[in-house]
């Protein structure tokens, strides 16, 4: 059984911070590229950030300088530290595990982030 479980979402005021976590099980975590995606109501799912199995990070332009993705292979967990949150960051955030060989993908159930005063 492969399972990705997100946590840490919630309601936060503009300018605030949240730390999302994604705990993985059922995969050899260290060989997977891990990413965070988000989907706002009425919009398509979009890439937020990715950290490869080698530790290389990449970010969407709209979160550069505000969000930080990291991974802890000992805990089979990937994190997304979100600072300076804006109302337009409101979305359901999804954890993704991607194995480049055979394009294997797994998804979490999503955690909701609402940025509002």
- Listing DSSP states for 41-57 in one string gives TTS--EEEEEE-TT--E
Q: What is the pLDDT of residue 34?
A: 98
How do the pLDDT tens digits run along the chain, 117 residues long? 999 999 999 999 999 999 999 999 999 999 999 999 999 999 999 999 999 999 999 999 999 999 999 999 999 999 999 999 999 999 999 999 999 888 899 999 999 999 999
Q: What is the pLDDT of residue 101?
A: 87
Contact predicate 8/22, CB 8 Å: no
Q: What is the pLDDT of residue 102?
A: 84
Report the distance separating Cα 51 and Cα 30, nearest Å: 11
Q: What is the pLDDT of residue 80?
A: 98
């Amino acid at each position: 059984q492969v399972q990705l479980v997100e946590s840490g979402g919630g309601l936060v005021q503009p300018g605030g911070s949240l730390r999302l976590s994604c705990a993985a099980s059922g995969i050899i975590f260290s060989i997977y590229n891990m990413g965070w995606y988000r989907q706002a109501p009425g919009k398509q799912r979009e890439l937020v950030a990715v950290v490869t199995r080698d530790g290389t990070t990449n970010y969407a332009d709209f979160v550069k300088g505000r969000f930080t993705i990291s991974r802890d292979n000992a805990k089979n967990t990937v994190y997304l530290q979100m600072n300076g949150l804006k109302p337009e960051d409101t979305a359901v955030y999804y954890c993704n595990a991607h194995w480049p060989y055979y394009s294997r993908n797994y998804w979490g159930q999503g955690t909701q982030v609402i940025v509002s005063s």
